[in-house]
Amino acid sequence: MKILPFKGLKTGVLAILVILIVSAMLLVDIVMIKIAEADLLSAKVREGFLLLSLISGSIKGNAYERDSSKSMELIEKELHSSGFTTVLLRASDTDDEKIIGKWGSALQEARHDGLKAVSTKSVAQRFYGTRWGVVWFSPERLIMSSPISSPALKWGSVTIGCDLGETYEALRARQITFLLFLTLYAAFLVLAGMYLFSRVVVAPVRKLLSMASGIEDLRTQDPEGGAPANEIDRLFAAVSGILSRLEENKARLRGHIASLERANKEIERARDEMVRSEKLASAGRLAAGFAHEIGNPLGIVAGYFELLKTGNLTESERLDLLDRAGAEIGRMGRVIRQMLNIARPSPPTREVIKAHEIINETIEFLAGQPWLSGIEIKTSLEARTDNVLGDPGQLREVLLNIIMNAADAMERKGTLNVRTWQEESNLNIEISDTGPGIPEAILSEVFEPFFTTKDPGKGTGLGLWVCYRIITSMGGSIAATASPEGGASIKIRLVLMPGQGATKDENDARNSRIGPESRHKRYRPEPV
């Protein structure tokens, strides 16, 4: 939580020092001015007592009459020398009075104080009015009254007054010098305090920051040694210890990370080897069908060559046999390429592939396998678009593993259904069989590695796990459910390429070019 809006510690401390010291100096100024003001007012009161005594003594000693001009001149002379400005003389037996100076609104108060002095037979004093002093409001005027006790005299009381404005003006003039002194003293305190604070707090804190950011070597942080002298030293030692332990932990952590990286690489290699083994196992199962797919066209080509050797053929018949032989050789080439695509290792790629083409190629390749004899394969490729991002070889491997598992479950008899449909931006592929199905309790475990329901020695338990890895790497999902026809159903969901939500007219035009025979097929493998 920020107390002051300063980014740097030194700047914040400097600002706080300035605020505190200036506030303290202003408070000192106020206190000193008020004390000086009180002293000046006390001195003024003492001057008033002296002036009253002089006036009373002069009047008594000369026995002046009320209208004596000489008496008034003497009083005015003493008044001007004392700093007081007004005098009021009142008779003891009548209301006659003599006024010197301008009393203004304080005249009535002066008369009242004179009567009070006569009645109490003592000196009366008080401050009258309010005005701005030096730092706050102060009395405006000092009024003092004294009785004249000699019965031979006609004057009953004398009252003097003093306007305190000149006193305040003189005090304000002195305050300027006092403030200048306080300013210089405050500047000295700020600089000295900042220097000491920088040495005691700021420099160690910056050193701690350097340690925390790794700028300085931890081994060079305590050159003086010895026990910590204060809280900063103890904090310094504690942070140094923490950072040392952090360095040790970082070193151990780097070792653990390196060990984990090596372990991950080993796991990755082992996983790749398992996938490779599964592919080779699949290739081994396909070997018999592969021999059949190669053997049949090879025998046909050999027969064509025997006919060509006879030499009893017309030119058109000879060309026809050569065309047929070329077609059979092309068929063998396609079978060999398909087998290589399944068996050989290849780095995964990310490209736009047409799922329907991969499905048709895979089923066409498997149609001649002996373990598919007696199984009817039905396809219903109803998805409006089938462009997905992935590796064609990996998608082919997924289809191959699922179809092989389905064929094993049906034991060479039944129906295998391959269906596709589109849901918004997703392509759904469903492969279902009419086998015994998968128990509900283990549906969630079929994609775990080494999990299999086959008899020992008849399966590795890696086929569906490989399928799960491939589909999830393509950003899709795969799940096993119970088929409505009583068997098992594997559902694959892949994300279509952006912008593949084609309109109905575009899809109808595309489907018309493909033709119904490419979207709905029935494969009946020939028994071997």
pLDDT digit string (tens) for 34-89? Answer: 888 888 889 888 888 888 888 777 766 554 444 456 666 777 777 777 778 778 77
Model confidence at 493, in pLDDT bands (50, 70, 90)? very high
The tokens describing 425, both together, are 């931006």
**CATH of span 349-523:** 3.30.565.10
Strand residues in 152-290 grouped as ranges (E): 155-163
Q: Assess whether pLDDT exceeds 50 at residue 239.
A: yes
Considering the chain, tell me which residue range(s) the CATH 3.30.565.10 domain(s) occupy.
349-523
The tokens describing 64, both together, are 């002046």
In contact, 281 and 460? CB cutoff 8 Å: yes
Considering the chain, tell me which residue range(s) the CATH 1.10.287.130 domain(s) occupy.
236-345
Q: Tokens 């003039």 identify what position? A: 173
pTM: 0.44
4 exposed, middle or buried (CB, 10 Å; 0-12, 13-18, 19+)?
A: exposed
The tokens describing 330, both together, are 């092309």
Q: Assess whether pLDDT exceeds 70 at residue 515.
A: no
Give tens-digit pLDDT for 349-408: 788 999 999 999 888 878 777 777 788 899 999 998 999 999 888 888 889 888 888 888
Domain made up of 9-185: CATH architecture: 2-Layer Sandwich (3.30)
**CATH of span 236-345:** 1.10.287.130
Measured CA to CA, the distance from residue 217 to residue 239 in angstroms comes to: 13
Tell me what the mean pLDDT of segment 447-462 comes to.
68
CA distances to 32, 133, 163, 173, 363 from 137, in Å:
16, 5, 15, 17, 108
Q: Assess whether pLDDT exceeds 90 at residue 200.
A: no
Task: Classify 413 as helix, strand or coil.
Answer: coil
Bridge partners for 141 per DSSP = 128, 163
Tell me what the mean pLDDT of segment 149-154 comes to.
58
Measured CA to CA, the distance from residue 409 to residue 487 in angstroms comes to: 9
Give tens-digit pLDDT for 309-324: 777 778 887 788 788 7
